Structure 1
Amino acid sequence: MNPLPAMTPWQQRAHAQACEAIRAGHFGHATLMIGPQHIGKRLLAEHLARRVLCLSPQADGAACDACKSCRLFAARTQLEALEVRPDGTPAHPWGHSAHPDLFFLGFEIHPKTGKPRTEIVIEQIRALTEKMGLTAQLGGAQVVIVDPADAVNWHAWNAILKTLEEPQPGRHLWLLSSSPAQLPATIRSRCQQLTVRLPPRAEALEWLRQRGHGAALAEEALDAARGHPGLADAWASGDGLDVRRAVLRDAQALARGQVAAVEVAQRWVADGRADERLRHLAEHALHEAAGLTDPAATRTLAARFDAANRARGLLRTTVRTDLAVAEALLAWR
C-alpha cells in the first residue's frame, strides 16, 4: 500500500511523464522540478523517490511495497505523520530520514538563534556531496531532494557543480524550484526539467469541490489564487481569504490617505504572515491593472506590484521586516 497521500491530477501528469522517462532509460541524474509554490512538487518528488528506490519493482516499474526499501519508506512516512509541529511542518530536522538512501536538504535550524535559516548554506551542500559519494546502503539507488533550490546560497552552488558534471550511476539529485531563473545558468543547463503546471480551471474547481469547498467559495478562492488550486484550497480551508479581504481594505485606505503605511506595516508583521499579505497585495495590483489602457495608471500598478515582490525578497534578508513592508505600502499612497 502506498504510504503517501494520493496525487492530484496535475501531479499525476508530471509523474507519468517522469515514469515514462525512467522506463525508457532517459531519466537523468539531475532533475529540476519546476512549478508554482504549493503546487505539490515535494509530494511528486516523494512518489518518484519511492518508485526509484524500490529494490523489487513491479513489471510496470511501480514500487512493490514489500522490499526493505519500501518498508523503510513506509516507516519514514508514518514517522513524519506523527512528528509534526502545530503548523503542520515536520518536527525533525531536514536531512534526516528513516530511509538510509533518501536525503532531504532544506532550511536547517540555525544553531545560535534556534530559528530556521533563510537560505541553504555551503556546509549543507558539502555534506550533501559527501553523501552522494557514498555507496547506497541498500545496494540500490540513492535520492537527494533539495527543496527549495531557490534558497541555495549562490556561492554554495560551486560545491555541487562537480557532482553534476561527474554523475554516478544510481545517484539522483532533484532540485525543487518555484523560481528557476534564480538558479545559476550553469546549474539549470545540467539538469533535465520536469514541470508541474497549473491545471485547467474546470479541473481545479472540481478538485476544490472534492476537497469539500462549496461552489461559490471555490470560485472566489481560485480567482484570488489566479488559478492555483493548492493556494485556493489553503485559503478556503483556513482564514486566507479573510486575510486577503483585509489586505484589499488596507490598500484602499492607503490609497485614500486614511491610514499610515508604518501603522499598517506593524499590523502586517505582528503575526508573522507578512509574506502572505504582500503576496495578496501584489496579486491585487495585477488584478487592478487588468484591462487598463491608461499608461500612467498601468505604470503605477506595475510599480506597486514590483514593490510588493521586492519586499517579499527582503523578508528573507536581515532587513527589518516592518521597514521592508512599509516601503512596499508607501507605493499605495
Structure 2
Amino acid sequence: MSIPPWHADHWARLQARRERHALPHALLLCGSRGLGKRDFLQRFVRGLLCQNATNGDACGTCRSCLLVNAGTHPDVVSLSYGLRKDGVQRSEIVVDQIRELSARLSTSSQFGGWQIASIDPADAMNAAAANALLKTLEEPASQTMLILLADEPWRMPATIRSRCQRIDFQLPTQADSLAWLQSAGVSDAAGALAAAGGNPGLARIWAEEGALAQRQEVRKDLAALAAGRGDAMEMGRRWLDNAPQQRLWFAAQAVADEMRARAATQAGPLSSALDIESLGAWYDAANRTREALRGPLRGDLLLLELLGRWR
C-alpha cells in the first residue's frame, strides 16, 4: 500500500523540524480511525531511529531498523491495554502502566539516541493514569519523545492535549480519496467511500471486510421493522453478536438518508412512519447507544430499547 497522500504535509513539517533539531518532546496523533495514524507513527519512529535515514525514511537494513522491525529495539516502548491479574484484557490504561513507563523513560537511551514511547489508544487512559502522565510531559528527559495516538482526543484531559504538539489527520478531498481507493483495488470505491462517511481508510477496511453487505442488511432490518415485519428482540441480539457499533453507524447513516429524502418531499429508503422530528431524535439516540455500548450497561437492552423506538 502506498503512503496516503494526506500524510504528506504532516510528514514534511515533522521532517523540517527534525532538520532544525526542533522536534517536540510529545506528539499527539489524532483523527478518525482509518486515516493511517498508526502507519504514520511506525514510519516516523523507524526513520527517527534509523542510522541511515533518507528524507526521514528508514533504510530498513541497519541494526536499528532490524531491531525495530523485530519489536526488540531497547529504546522503543509501546503501551496499550494491559492484562488484569485474572488474565482478562483491560478496557482502559491504568496508572500503574504509566508509572512503569515513566520509570523506564527516566533511564538513559541504550543506543545513545532517542528514546520513543507510544501510548495507543491514549484516549483510553483513566483519570489517574492521565494525571500520572502529566509529570512526564511537564519534565521530559532529554532525547525522549512521547507519542500519543487517539481516535477521540476529546476524551483526554485538556492538560494532556495542551502539552503535546498536535497532528490532526483530516478527511482528504473526495477526488484524492477515490483515487487512493482505486489504486488500492477497491472495486466500488464511490459506494465504499459514501458508506464510510468520506473516510478512505475506513472505506478500504470495510470493503475488505465485507462490511458494505452488512450496511445493506442494516437497512433491510430497519425497513422490515418500519413495515411491522421484523422482530426487534431477535434483531437486537443479531446486531449485538456482530459489530454492533458498526451497525449503529450504518443505522444512523440510513436514518440520515431518510431525513434528507423527507426534506426533499420524496419517499425515504426505509419507509418509516416516523415524522422528521422523530427521525432526528432516533438518529441522536442511535449515536448515544453506540457510545453507551462502551460502558457497563447491557448491550442487548440498549439495542432493544432503540429498535423498539424505531418500530
Q: What's the secondary structure of 2:93's corresponding residue? A: coil
**Structure-2 residue corresponding to 1:204:** 177
Give per-residue Cα distances to partners, 1:244-302, cap 9 Å, x unaligned. Answer: 1111111222333332332211111224x1122112122223333347659x9554333
Aligned pair partner of 1:254 in 216, 225, 233: 225
Matched-pair contact (CA < 8 Å) for 1:307–1:327: no
**Structure-2 residue corresponding to 1:270:** 241
With normalisation by structure 1, the TM-score equals 0.83
Aligned pair partner of 1:106 in 80, 86, 95: 80
Listed as ranges, the gaps of 5+ residues in structure 2 are 265-273
Q: 1:302 to 1:24 in 2, by over 3 A?
A: farther
> 1:127-142 counterparts in 2 under 5 A?
127-142=100-115
Q: How many corresponding residue pairs?
A: 302
CA-CA distance at 1:106 after TM superposition = 1.6
Q: What's the secondary structure of 2:295's corresponding residue? A: coil
**Structure-2 residue corresponding to 1:69:** 64
Matched-pair contact (CA < 8 Å) for 1:164–1:190: yes
Query: Which whole-Å CA distance do the structure 2 matches of 1:259 and 1:291 have between them?
Result: 23
Aligned pair partner of 1:18 in 8, 14, 31: 14
> 1:80-229 counterparts in 2 under 5 A?
97-112=71-86, 114-214=87-187, 217-229=188-200
Query: Which whole-Å CA distance do the structure 2 matches of 1:62 and 1:178 have between them?
Result: 25
**Structure-2 residue corresponding to 1:94:** none
Matched-pair contact (CA < 8 Å) for 1:14–1:194: yes
User: Which amino acid counterpart does residue 35 of structure 1 have in structure 2?
Assistant: G
**Structure-2 residue corresponding to 1:35:** 31
Structure whose alpha-carbon radius of gyration is higher: 2
CA-CA distance at 1:22 after TM superposition = 2.1
What CA RMSD, in Å, does the superposition of the two structures yield over aligned residues?
2.3
CA-CA distance at 1:165 after TM superposition = 0.8
- Identity across aligned pairs (percent)? 39
Matched-pair contact (CA < 8 Å) for 2:43–2:57: no
Q: Which moved more, 1:248-257 or 1:138-147?
A: 248-257
**Structure-2 residue corresponding to 1:88:** none
Query: Which whole-Å CA distance do the structure 2 matches of 1:30 and 1:291 have between them?
Result: 46
Q: What's the secondary structure of 2:111's corresponding residue? A: coil
CA-CA distance at 1:187 after TM superposition = 0.8
Matched-pair contact (CA < 8 Å) for 1:311–1:327: no
**Structure-2 residue corresponding to 1:282:** 252
Q: 1:324 to 1:219 in 2, by over 3 A?
A: same
Aligned pair partner of 1:301 in 270, 274, 279: 279
**Structure-1 residue corresponding to 2:271:** none
Query: Which whole-Å CA distance do the structure 2 matches of 1:56 and 1:208 have between them?
Result: 32
CA-CA distance at 1:157 after TM superposition = 0.4
CA-CA distance at 1:64 after TM superposition = 4.2
Q: 1:146 to 1:331 in 2, by over 3 A?
A: farther
Matched, 1:328 2:306: yes
**Structure-2 residue corresponding to 1:84:** none
Q: Which moved more, 1:6-15 or 1:196-205?
A: 6-15
Q: 1:301 to 1:18 in 2, by over 3 A?
A: farther
Give per-residue Cα distances to partners, 1:22-68, cap 9 Å, x unaligned. Answer: 2233331111111111211011011111122224544x444344442
Q: What's the secondary structure of 2:310's corresponding residue? A: coil
Q: 1:149 to 1:288 in 2, by over 3 A?
A: farther
Q: What's the secondary structure of 1:190's corresponding residue? A: coil
